[in-house]
Amino acid sequence: MLQEKAGEIAGKIWKALDGTEGMTVKQIKKVTKSIDKDLYLGFGWLLREDKLSVTEVEGELFVKLK
Q: Please give the full DSSP string across 36-50, using - where no structure is assigned.
A: HHHHHHHHHHHHHTT
- Kindly report the pTM of this predicted structure: 0.91
What pLDDT, on the 0 to 100 scale, is given for residue 26?
96
Overall number of domains in the chain: 1
Which CATH number characterizes residue 50's domain? 1.10.10.10
CA distance 61 to 27: 10
What pLDDT, on the 0 to 100 scale, is given for residue 2?
78
What pLDDT, on the 0 to 100 scale, is given for residue 1?
76
